[in-house]
Amino acid sequence: MATLKEKLSELLPQKQQEIHQLLKEHGDKVISEVTVRQAFGGMRGVKALICDTSLVEPDKGLAIRGIPILDLVDKFPEEIFYLLLTDELPDKEALSSLQKDLQEREEVPSYVWDVLDTMADDAHPMTMLSTAVLVMQRDSLFAKEYRKGISKSEYWKPVLEDSLQLIARLPSIAAGIYRKRFNKGPRIEPDNNLDWAGNFAHMMGVPDPTGDFANMMRLYMVLHSDHEGGNVSAHTCHCVGSALSDPFYSVSAGLNGLAGPLHGLANQECLRFVLALKEKYNGVPTKEQLVDFAWETLNAGKVIPGYGHAVLRVTDPRFLAFRDFGLRVCPDDEVFKIVDLLFNTIPDVLKEHGKAKNPWPNVDAGSGSLLYHFGMKEFDYYTVLFGVSRSLGMLSQIVMSRGLGEAIERPKSVGTDWVKKFVGAE
């Protein structure tokens, strides 16, 4: 089977031709409209972006290149990266070639550690991750090639190189951040006998006598890898990349979006909520106590973290995958039990509350409890794990965008007065 680069060299011209034909024959057809509510409401549901890597159907959840995420839970994240880019899972040979390629690129330049060492002791780990990615911009091959005057049809090649470079280094960087920021001792050297996520788990140094923590990391990296193109991190990365800013600039920007409490930070908020319940009721609460606590939260004008979604209208299959893992690995863990109890309680409360369009759990409702079970109690770090995983999706989307010659983003904005006049409001 072909390597990633060979496969893309074969696929991209075909895809370009397909798009060229589509635009020529149907370029002026309308695929979406925008209501006033959507324009003021985060463009929810407006179809104005192209993303071929994955799709989130409101009633089904995430599918990567047409494969439901629950059918991919036993794959390595490297396999998912190959799938995101090429529409095919790699065979053994292509997978080991990709893994070898990543291992060869994994050394983190010393200036990255120097920069991280100068940051404040209480810097948020997401700030550290985004900064580390940004400082590596000086190594961008795309930026160098662009300056030399590379042809537009070749853009994707150095972008792929940058992407592989970044993916290869992210586990060491993220693990280094974990150990430094939370005083876990010196950095741990990578073990080249391990796969990408297994190595990440190893370098974090979380005790793992059963190997389940490494399995959890593999699952975590697969489940968070991509969620189509309109979510804040993917869209931000896409937008920045559309200015031909290189992958380092683009991913760093995407990570900053992921750091928001309504997006990637929700997993830590969610665990806080679960632990507050545990503390208040001194263990696993009863269903009635849980209902009371949920109403107290809602009546205080706060959201129930881990529930609701901008697109999904069913239980997030990624939550189900984590729940399944928890039921196998730690069914008696009190924190996990509360997560499970919440799953059986919150949807009815939110339905009665009547505001959230989706009363079901999203991916963040369960992941934190599993990390906590393995002794990773540093909540501020959880979004970093999300960020490392989501980089797979952000980077595959950028490679595709450059490969397909997408234009710089420039939607039209209008003022409130314009809207009022246009709709004939008083």
Q: Which residues bind ligand AMX (CB under 6 A)?
A: 262-264, 266, 298, 303-310, 355-358, 362-364
Among 162, 208, 340, 364, the active-site one is 364
Among 195, 309, 316, 340, the active-site one is 309
Q: Do 209 and 221 contact (CB within 8 A), yes or no?
A: no
Distance CA 216, CA 374 (A): 9
Distance CA 379, CA 267 (A): 8
Residue written as token pair 């706060």: 302
User: Residue 192 has what DSSP assignment?
Assistant: T
Distances (CA, A) of 299 to 293, 295, 349: 10, 6, 12
* 120/300 with CB nearer ligand AMX: 300
Q: Do 38 and 45 contact (CB within 8 A), yes or no?
A: yes
Kindly tell me the number of DSSP H helices and DSSP E strands found in the chain. 20, 3
> Which amino acid, one-letter code, is at 56?
V
Tell me phi and psi for residue 361, to 5 degrees: -70, 145
Is 263 annotated in the active site?
yes
Residue 360, phi-psi category: left (phi > 0), alpha (psi -120 to 50), beta (remainder): beta
Give the contacts of 352 (CB within 8 A, at least 6 positions apart): none
Distance CA 267, CA 322 (A): 13
Q: Which helix (H) or strand (E) holds 394?
A: helix 382-403
Q: Could you tell me where the beta strands, DSSP code E, fall in 22-97?
A: 54-57, 61-64, 67-68
Q: Which residue has the CB atom at the shortest distance from ligand AMX?
A: 308
SS3 call for 7: helix
Nearest to 39 by CA among 424, 421, 426, 412: 412
Please provide the size of the chain in residues.
426
Residue 306: both structure tokens together: 């881990």
Among 202, 263, 316, 340, the active-site one is 263
Distance CA 155, CA 220 (A): 31
Nearest to 39 by CA among 422, 394, 426: 422
| Active site (catalytic) residues | 263, 309, 364
